[in-house]
Structure 1
Amino acid sequence: MPSAPTPGPYDVHRPPRADGRTFMVTGGNAGIGYFVAEQLAASGATVWMSSRDAGRGEAAAESIRTRVPGARVSHFRLDLADLSSLKASVEALGADRLDAVVYNAGVALDDPPRRETKDGHELMFGTNHLGHFALTRWLAPLLRAAPAARVVTVGSFAAKSERLDLDDPESTEDYRPKRTYGRSKLAQTHFGFELDRRVRASGGTLLSVVAHPGGALDGLTPARPRVHVTTGGERLRALPAGLLLQGKEAGARPVVRAVLDPEVRGGELYGPRVFGLRGLPRPEPVKGHFADAAVAARLWEISSAMAGVSPDLGLL
């Protein structure tokens, strides 16, 4: 009897099919999240995309349907800045399992003043990190119901140059918006790797993977009329940056590979090939402060207390 064919290298233009599987993308109505949802929908999967704004969410879903014939894509309302609302949002889906969730949604502020979530947490740390941390607790039953679920956390190149201050994780003492954003993405990155460590220690089958888009600019991003329109001037101004950076459609590819590639392993990091800024997705070494398990473990305990959820998140 002939043996099964050996899978070839991952091809971004012909990624593996995912018919019959269900994926969730937080913040799927715009930016990187939109293109992640679009590419996953093209794989044949059912895709749930979250947004706080129902109108923008439906516009994004309709955009995907016009580009992907037969796309099974829906939006649902999710507000990561309101921790008390997350359980009800998940229950309203009526889903019985989830094969992968992409933690993409996020807030990025450029200027003071410091802002807070409904729960009193600094807005970027509270939304980008704590919101996803708490959401995992309510998604746990759906992830456990899948035979080999994945949690893919979207990091950022900005996290590479930051360090956490675990004595002041919410920047109450010295608030600088760009630094606080980078730290919130670093916290997400630590979450992704620490979740992998804890799952492996418990003998679980879930895979936790981190991916980042590199340098993704609006001016290099193809237009999606219902979601994103780039003017001619913006495209021209962005052309020189195309030597080192890329658009958000390309920036979504490391994330999509982390979801779809059967060769992906828990605890891996995926990013663009060229200096981590542009190009085809590939695994990157996890080193330096990204590999600091002691910081990640302490952050986990702090986050559990802040988010008001048990440290096992219902998964371990």
Structure 2
Amino acid sequence: MRTQQWDVRRLPRADGKNFLVTGGNAGIGYFVAEQLAGAGATVILGSRDTAKAEAAMASIRSRVPGARVRHLQLDLSDLASLKSTVDELDRLDAVVCNAGVLLEQPRRRETRDGHELMFATNHLGHFALIGRLAPVLSGGRVVTTGSFTAKSARLDPGDLQSARDYQPKDAYARSKLAQMLFGFELDRRLRAAGSTTSSVVNHPGGALDSLTPSRPPFHVRTAGQRLRGLPAGILLQGKETAAWPAVRAVLDPAVQGGQLLGPRVFGLRGKPRIEPVQGLFADTELADRVWAASVDLTGVDPLECRP
């Protein structure tokens, strides 16, 4: 089984391939982009913030000589903007649906479309984006990055956007569960349609800034932060290693559509492994209902957008 053979430090070459990483300008997404660029791919950083994207690209170029990186203006919370955004792309071999927002304020916020902000950005935006990208992604791989918190989330199909009982952390977990259900359902529907595009789901485990190596100027870890983070390193990890499941999901030719990848140690840290798809992740009825609701809310069906 390939699980034992995958080497996070010796990635297969990806020269000539084009990968889009949403939210590739910061956090785990940055390290996904850095590692994919190190494998020789052209990496496109999907981000709303041009200045942050420029800083991230400068950092990647300083660590990966000859890195091929560029920025794509991308706002997942603005559904209307996605069609013109993806018109700038010609061909993709994979897209990593990584971008996400976690709000801590108790006040529920909505997008201009009237959708709860976390659900809109984390799930609906990616749902619509994959539909828009279908013509340039034929035969490629959709990699959806969820969250460990989704394993304990509860999702009410009648209240997907937490209008009745909004709590920030619960709403975030629900949005990530919806996103992961979409990743699994997408692969089922692609297989049924005879498509050569595949969909893989991953989660990064537990990642802390205090365990994350510095990448100036957008992330600088002080000596004090590093020392304070050491005890947490027993169970958690930095964002560099939290990127490994997504990177493997993109690059490993042995990974198959419909699989779930996560960290080896308690699902929280360590090298990426293939996990069983069980519990809510295997609930096909719930996934079907989330899909139908997402089509209604976005006006996009990813399967109907294929060439």
Fold shared per TM-score above 0.5: yes
For residue 7 of structure 1, report the CA deviation from its aligned partner: 12
- Give the alignment partner of residue 219 of structure 1, picking from 210, 220, 228: 210
Partner of 1:96: 90
Partner of 1:55: 51
- Give the alignment partner of residue 116 of structure 1, picking from 90, 110, 115: 110
2:9 aligned with 1:13: yes
Aligned length: 306
Secondary structure of the residue aligned to 2:214 is: coil
For residue 235 of structure 1, report the CA deviation from its aligned partner: 1.4
2:132 aligned with 1:138: yes
RMSD over aligned CA atoms reads 1.4
8 Å Cα contact 2:145/2:180 also seen in 1: yes
The whole-number CA distance in structure 1 between the counterparts of 2:180 and 2:3 is 29
8 Å Cα contact 2:127/2:302 also seen in 1: no
2:260 aligned with 1:264: no
8 Å Cα contact 1:300/1:311 also seen in 2: no
For residue 21 of structure 1, report the CA deviation from its aligned partner: 0.5
- Give the alignment partner of residue 82 of structure 1, picking from 71, 78, 81: 78
Match for 2:27: what amino acid?
A: G
For residue 226 of structure 1, report the CA deviation from its aligned partner: 2.1
For residues 311 and 12 of structure 1, do their structure 2 counterparts lie closer, same or farther at Cα, with a shift above 3 Å needed? closer
Structure 2 portions without partners, runs of 5+? none
The whole-number CA distance in structure 1 between the counterparts of 2:201 and 2:7 is 19
For residues 7 and 232 of structure 1, do their structure 2 counterparts lie closer, same or farther at Cα, with a shift above 3 Å needed? closer
Q: Deviations over 1:244-266 (max 9, x none)?
A: 00000000001000000010000
The whole-number CA distance in structure 1 between the counterparts of 2:190 and 2:53 is 32
8 Å Cα contact 1:81/1:131 also seen in 2: yes
For residue 313 of structure 1, report the CA deviation from its aligned partner: 4.2
8 Å Cα contact 2:146/2:177 also seen in 1: yes
8 Å Cα contact 2:128/2:301 also seen in 1: no
Partner of 1:314: 305
- Give the alignment partner of residue 247 of structure 1, picking from 238, 252, 269: 238
For residues 10 and 311 of structure 1, do their structure 2 counterparts lie closer, same or farther at Cα, with a shift above 3 Å needed? closer
**For 1:31-50, what aligned pairs fall within 5 Å after superposition?**
31-50=27-46
Q: TM-score, normalised by structure 2?
A: 0.97
The whole-number CA distance in structure 2 between the counterparts of 1:120 and 1:78 is 19
Partner of 1:24: 20
8 Å Cα contact 1:136/1:313 also seen in 2: no
8 Å Cα contact 1:301/1:311 also seen in 2: no
For residues 179 and 313 of structure 1, do their structure 2 counterparts lie closer, same or farther at Cα, with a shift above 3 Å needed? farther
Secondary structure of the residue aligned to 1:49 is: strand
8 Å Cα contact 2:200/2:257 also seen in 1: yes
Match for 2:183: what amino acid?
A: G
Partner of 2:69: 73
Match for 1:297: what amino acid?
A: D
For residues 167 and 8 of structure 1, do their structure 2 counterparts lie closer, same or farther at Cα, with a shift above 3 Å needed? closer
Match for 2:99: what amino acid?
A: A
Structure 1 portions without partners, runs of 5+? 1-5
Q: Deviations over 1:25-78 (max 9, x none)?
A: 000000000000000000101000011110001110111001000100011210
2:257 aligned with 1:288: no
Identity level (%): 66
Partner of 1:205: 196
8 Å Cα contact 2:23/2:29 also seen in 1: yes
For residue 111 of structure 1, report the CA deviation from its aligned partner: 2.1
The whole-number CA distance in structure 2 between the counterparts of 1:308 and 1:24 is 23
For residue 311 of structure 1, report the CA deviation from its aligned partner: 5.6
